[in-house]
Structure 1
Amino acid sequence: MTTLYHCNASAICSKKNIDKETVIRFRKWCSDQKLPHLSEEQLLLFLSYTTNMEQAQNTILKYFQCKSKTPELFTKLDLDAEDIQEARTVYDIAVIPERTPDNRVVACGKLRNTSYSRFHLDQLIKLCCMALECFLYDGPVDGVIVVVDMKGIGLLHLTKLRLNALQKFFYFIQECVPFKIEEVHVLNTVNFIDKVIAILKPFLGKELYDVIKFYPNGLNSEDIFGSLPKSCLPKDYTGTLSTLSVLAEETYQKMSKLNLVYAQLEEQIKCYKEIKNT
């Protein structure tokens, strides 16, 4: 079984200067670790973000270990599923289609429905994980920039946070994926931001914590996004693209076309668990 990706293996090899012998050695190592059969594009996603073979090996192994041990977050990733359909009405999560000139991806998120009773952390995390696979589908990235708008978040939303789910999610995005989050911009920070930080800090490694910047309500967006091209931002954040809500809908439409990819990725995790148990 191979996983469908839009990226082209030969193009990745050429751009990232990865030779066939490296891919062959990596595939053999994955086989020795009892990982499921992986497409060449999948192998290259993990090889291309680091020049260190050992780091690529550690990352892909953690990727499968984490997913196999966390079925509540990494199974039933189907945009037509009831919980994901519900999440779409509550959160705007957009993967900006235009990458920066240095091949970085911008991902933006905010509440669409601000009622705390509609806020469910597991749904939000599953939607975020689907978005991660969505931009990797188009090929390796050289960094990720995250924009989080806290507008509409209140103290009651904090009561819906589950520490176990947060720990697993932040472990996954810091240790198990073939990219690095280089910048995190948190907009419209609330007056209880210290409480939010206190909850999240135990799960944030120093590398991620150091790139998070907080901006109070009313700060000039030009001061925040001055280094980013406007072609990579929604128009509600000084960009030239559509609004975040519209871009989120476009992202969800793309996700719906990737249901086969999500199913194949889940099948790989299932195969990994079966192989490890034999």
Structure 2
Amino acid sequence: MDAKYGQFLTLPTTKQVAEIYAEINTTEEKIDKDVDLLLEWVRKQPHMPNLDDEKRKVKSFLIGCKNSLERTKEMLDNHYTLRALCPKYFIESDLENSAIIKLSEYRVFAPLPMITREGNRVIIDHLKSETFIFDIVVTMKVMLMNIDIRMSKLDIFKKDIYILDMKYYSLSRLLESLPHIHEMSLYLNNTFPLRIHELHILNAPNFIGKFINILRIKFNKVISQRLYIHENIDKLKDYIDPEILPINYGGTFPKTSVELMDEWKNEVLKNFDWVLRHNKLKVNESKRLKKSNITLENMDGSFRKLEID
């Protein structure tokens, strides 16, 4: 479990992993046993797909659900139910590797290679220029694929820290995305057991108040307590170790965010075969023993909210 430098993401050390487990009152041995219990539960649910080859993903879900077996069961069921309810946001064709390539042409959306001392992962998100074609389906496909690959294959982390640089955002672009915000929030809230530690906003436009109100309504009011708006890039270093930050964001990591996006894109493409296989895993509602109340209409109220902690 020690840090590995031969891959894009540096993983937590054994000590850091032990600290992550201690915070949720578990150990490596106990969590492995709990994962086996969860897989046994999945096998007894005739509507659920076979997850025997997804032990690492189940483990990540258990960590994200703070070691609660019942919450993990609910989240796994919701996760694969959502894939069946609305497959348009999940890549299923080998021709769709163009989604990550297309998005990377105008946007950086990538985890940073080094993990924080606390075991948190930093994700950076910014547009490359003012000129781009907004495609909500491509954006959501890549966003969900990024999270899935991290949780299922490549990463171990406690919480997420997001850096959102709004330099090239405009009010017209925000208004253009408003019809999709509700649907985006449903998927981001309910597809994965994410724990957001902090959200840092750079180059805030004068309409930032409207943007924050949307975040509070669609995600969690607590987000305002963990949201920081910085006047300049240097303020980031008060919260995030400079060795983690790319050089164009005041850090000492020897690459730019654009270079890191290119590397992350290649990492995703290397795992694209797994994406195609895994996205075929969905619930079979005809075999569900107890009728599900989950629909696209009531999903917002039925699923758990994104955790900000």
Alpha-carbon contact 1:78-1:84 (below 8 Å) kept: no
When the two chains are superposed, the root-mean-square deviation of aligned CA atoms in Å is 2.8
1:129 partnered with 2:144: yes
Superposed CA deviations along residues 43-64 of structure 1, whole A, max 9, x for unmatched, are: 2111233122112122222212
Q: Where does residue 183 of structure 2 map in the other structure?
A: 168
The Cα of 1:223 is off from its aligned counterpart by 2.3
Superposed CA deviations along residues 202-225 of structure 1, whole A, max 9, x for unmatched, are: 31122434322223xxx2333233
Q: Where does residue 234 of structure 1 map in the other structure?
A: 246
1:1-278 residue pairs with structure 2 within 5 A? 16-33=28-45, 34-38=47-51, 39-49=54-64, 50-76=66-92, 81-115=97-131, 118-136=133-151, 137-163=153-179, 165-215=180-230, 219-241=231-253, 242-269=255-282, 272=283, 275-278=284-287
Alpha-carbon contact 1:114-1:152 (below 8 Å) kept: yes
SS of residue matched to 2:280: helix
Superposed CA deviations along residues 137-192 of structure 1, whole A, max 9, x for unmatched, are: 224310110101000111221232153x4223323333431331111111101011
SS of residue matched to 1:232: coil
- Call closer, same or farther: CA 1:139–1:114 in 2, change over 3 Å: same
- Call closer, same or farther: CA 1:104–1:16 in 2, change over 3 Å: farther
Report the number of matched residues: 262
- Call closer, same or farther: CA 1:254–1:260 in 2, change over 3 Å: same
Unaligned runs of 5+ in 2: 1-8, 288-309
The Cα of 1:115 is off from its aligned counterpart by 1.6
Alpha-carbon contact 1:90-1:114 (below 8 Å) kept: no
SS of residue matched to 1:173: helix
The Cα of 1:79 is off from its aligned counterpart by 8.2
Superposed CA deviations along residues 244-263 of structure 1, whole A, max 9, x for unmatched, are: 11111111111110101211
Q: In 2, Cα distance between the equivalents of 1:83 and 1:234?
A: 24
Superposed CA deviations along residues 114-139 of structure 1, whole A, max 9, x for unmatched, are: 225x1222222222222212322224
Alpha-carbon contact 1:109-1:148 (below 8 Å) kept: yes
Q: In 1, Cα distance between the equivalents of 2:93 and 2:233?
A: 34
One-letter identity of the residue aligned with 1:230 = P
Unaligned runs of 5+ in 1: 1-5
- Call closer, same or farther: CA 1:103–1:120 in 2, change over 3 Å: same
Alpha-carbon contact 2:216-2:223 (below 8 Å) kept: no
Q: In 1, Cα distance between the equivalents of 2:183 and 2:94?
A: 20
Alpha-carbon contact 1:141-1:179 (below 8 Å) kept: no
Q: In 1, Cα distance between the equivalents of 2:27 and 2:226?
A: 27
- Call closer, same or farther: CA 1:70–1:225 in 2, change over 3 Å: farther
Q: In 2, Cα distance between the equivalents of 1:212 and 1:180?
A: 14
Q: In 2, Cα distance between the equivalents of 1:76 and 1:259?
A: 10
- Call closer, same or farther: CA 1:114–1:135 in 2, change over 3 Å: same
SS of residue matched to 2:200: strand
One-letter identity of the residue aligned with 1:154 = S
One-letter identity of the residue aligned with 2:147 = L
- Call closer, same or farther: CA 1:68–1:80 in 2, change over 3 Å: closer
Q: In 2, Cα distance between the equivalents of 1:257 and 1:101?
A: 28
Alpha-carbon contact 1:121-1:160 (below 8 Å) kept: no
One-letter identity of the residue aligned with 2:159 = G
Q: In 2, Cα distance between the equivalents of 1:21 and 1:80?
A: 37
- Call closer, same or farther: CA 1:239–1:114 in 2, change over 3 Å: same
SS of residue matched to 2:192: coil
Q: In 2, Cα distance between the equivalents of 1:77 and 1:132?
A: 19
